[in-house]
Amino acid sequence: MSKCLIRNNIRKLRFNANEMTQQELADKTGVTRQTIVAIENGKYSPTLELAFRISLVFNCPLDEVFSYVPEEDSGTAYFKAN
Amino acid sequence: MYNREKQIIVSLITSILILGLYSLYVFNKYIEGNPDILNDFKFWGKAFLILIPVSVIAQIIIHIVFAIVNKITTNEDIPTISDERDKLIELRAIRISHWLFLCGFLLSMGSQAIGMLPGVMFITLISSGFVASFASEIARIYYYRKGF
């Protein structure tokens, strides 16, 4: 079974949301800033509940914030998606 | 370095200091002139019972001092919430610490099974408790830094 990677657009969405800071996003989602940093850097995959909370903050569907890319496809699929 | 990592390092240093100083105190006061006391169950019972509250109180005091110093120097508050990632890291660290302590416990029981002195059992228990706690803190720093 291949390793799965969850990619995210949080940095871009924060920028579009009037340069929302990591701390502001953390406060709105009820986690620490360190967790937001870890998610943004792809070091932590959030639970479904937190993922939904983040997407609610940006007022956009979940798949605009997170995308699921199996490792074997990560090289091509990621660039196709962006 | 994030506040959570600083907290862990403070906790790590505190545990080393507390156990080191307490061991030194007990050694100088009780063991130095009377090594046979190591095989006295009453001595070990008292030693364990005193170590636990001393350790808890010292940890609380040092963490309060750390929070004050951190606030003064960096103007940042220590995070009071523990989110899902913190809990997950905590669980992983506890798992490591439980396995290590279990190994220590088995070693201490093994020492009794092969007829070693009771002092060996208690020293193994204290050492394994310390190693387990140390490894747990190191694991937490590792998971916070590397991610999972």
| ipTM (interface predicted TM) | 0.76
Contacts of B146 in chain A (CB under 8 A): 43
Q: List, in sequence order, every residue forming a beta bridge with A8; answer none if it has no partner.
A: A66
pTM: 0.81
| Chain A neighbors of B85, CB-CB under 8 A | 31-32, 34-35, 38, 44, 46
Residues of B in contact with A38 (CB under 8 A): 85, 147
H or E, element range at A6:
strand A4-8
Distance CA B43, CA B112 (A): 18
- Asked if the model's pLDDT at residue B22 lies above 90, the reply is yes
What value does the mean pLDDT of chain A take?
A: 85
Could you tell me which of B39, B137, B47 has the C-alpha nearest to residue B97? Answer: B137
- Residue B33, phi then psi, degrees to nearest 5: -90, -10
User: What pLDDT, on a 0 to 100 scale, did the predictor assign at position A77?
Assistant: 47
Q: What is the mean pLDDT of residues B104-108?
A: 97
Query: What is the nearest CA distance from A32 to chain B, expressed in angstroms?
Result: 7
Give the phi and the psi of residue A2 in degrees, each rounded to 5. -80, 155
Is residue A31 within 8 Å of residue B83, measured between CB atoms?
yes
Please give the residue of chain B at the shortest CA–CA distance from A30.
B83
pLDDT, tens only, B49-82: 999 999 999 999 998 998 899 889 888 777 778 8
Distances (CA, A) of B134 to A54, B60, B64, B88: 35, 18, 21, 18
Mapping DSSP onto H, E and C, the string for chain B reads CCHHHHHHHHHHHHHHHHHHHHHHHHHHHHHCCCHHHHHCHHHHHHHHHHHHHHHHHHHHHHHHHHHHHHHHHHCCCCCCCCCHHHHHHHHHHHHHHHHHHHHHHHHHHHHHHCCCCHHHHHHHHHHHHHHHHHHHHHHHHHHHHHCC
Confidence of residue A5 (pLDDT cuts 50, 70, 90): confident
| Percent of chain B at pLDDT exceeding 70 | 100
- Averaged pLDDT, B16-29: 92
Min distance A13 CA to chain B CA atoms (Å): 22
